[in-house]
Structure 1
Amino acid sequence: MIKVLRVDDRLLHGQVAQSWTSFYHIDKIFIINDEVENDEFSKVTLNLAKPKNVELLFYELAACRDALLDALENDDRVMVIVENFSDAWQLHEILPTIHSINVGGYRNKSDKEAIVLNRFVILRKEDIEICQRLMNKGVKLEIRQIPAEKEQLIDLSEVRHGTG
């Protein structure tokens, strides 16, 4: 079963690996990212961050459908991590039963028109549009670095005024 879908521009790092896997008793982490799937150095580096008792699997976005559908059906507790909102949207198209997305870190500092939600989450106009589409489908978008933090729901009502 898929316990959490996370958007994090760093993908997997110590904080995520330890806190989220412990909180949800995660058995497997799926990193869905086309670049990482084809980069052995990145795979080795990301494997260093995972807890010993957790399996880390890598998939390209176009090739993850069967693995995700299997994860829904079996007893393994799975965490899915993507790097951006575009990938999260595509995963939601594959798995419309996803009703919540955790946003960890998403820092688009190079975009001068980006909207700062907090120090960890900075959204570009196209991210805001994707977030709105997800929320229109009933998906809750919550910002939390670790499970112990109070969740901050993404509220686009004020943001939309600034993006015209």
Structure 2
Amino acid sequence: MAIVDVRIDDRLIHGQVCGFWIPHFSVERIAIVDDVIVHDEARKTALKFGCPGKVKLSVFAPEAAADKFIRKIDEGIRVMILCNRPKPILQMVEAGYKVDSITVGNMSTKDGAKQIKKTVFVSEEEKEDFKKLAQHGVKIYSQMVPNEQREEITNDFK
């Protein structure tokens, strides 16, 4: 399995992911990692409906995802890991899966969140999760679409 990107976008499957990121990385499978969505059949069905026809969609809890990625079950398939917040990625890292970098796209405004980029609003809990990821050596980048300049924001969480 070739993990082509680990991306945070709270919209998950949407126009930018389908229209820009999937073609950019020639993604064959999207792996949504989320401990809530994995148990929500209606939401999984809706996400599968929004996924392009040639792209497979899997939904995993963080620990199961870490195990699957460590064992390289999908060897040879181009996979994008997609999450709606940093917590599932931190849980995968704490379960032993190595993540080199994260690309943050959109994190919508929410109560108590601080805007750190044009479309990135981070709560205190999310900031702590990013901080822990940075302590694990994970580089954090902000980038909405492939033709936009990728900007490292790791130091925003130290």
Distance 1:150 1:95, change over 3 A: farther
Contact 2:69–2:97 at 8 Å: present in 1 too?
Answer: no
**Could you say what the CA RMSD is over the residues aligned between the two structures, in angstroms?**
2.1
CA distance in 2, matches of 1:20, 1:51: 12
Distance 1:28 1:95, change over 3 A: farther
Distance 1:22 1:65, change over 3 A: same
Q: How does 1:42-121 map to 2 (within 5 A)?
A: 42-71=43-72, 74-111=75-112, 114-121=113-120
Deviation for aligned residue 1:55: 0.6
SS at match of 1:74: coil
- Percent of residue pairs identical: 28
CA distance in 2, matches of 1:70, 1:62: 12
CA distance in 1, matches of 2:143, 2:114: 18
Question: Could you state the TM-score of these two structures normalised by the residue count of structure 2?
Answer: 0.86
Listed as ranges, the gaps of 5+ residues in structure 1 are: none
Contact 1:8–1:82 at 8 Å: present in 2 too?
Answer: yes
Question: Could you state the TM-score of these two structures normalised by the residue count of structure 1?
Answer: 0.84
More helix by share: 1
Contact 2:110–2:123 at 8 Å: present in 1 too?
Answer: no
Q: Which runs of 4+ in 1 moved over 3 A?
A: 70-73
Deviation for aligned residue 1:95: 4.8
Q: Report how many residues are paired.
A: 157
Amino acid at match of 2:62: L
Deviation for aligned residue 1:66: 3.0
SS at match of 1:34: coil
CA distance in 1, matches of 2:72, 2:27: 12
CA distance in 1, matches of 2:141, 2:13: 18
SS at match of 1:31: strand
Structure 2 counterpart of 1:153:
152
SS at match of 2:32: strand
SS at match of 1:64: helix
Structure 2 counterpart of 1:38:
39
Deviation for aligned residue 1:59: 1.1
Listed as ranges, the gaps of 5+ residues in structure 2 are: none
Structure 2 counterpart of 1:27:
28
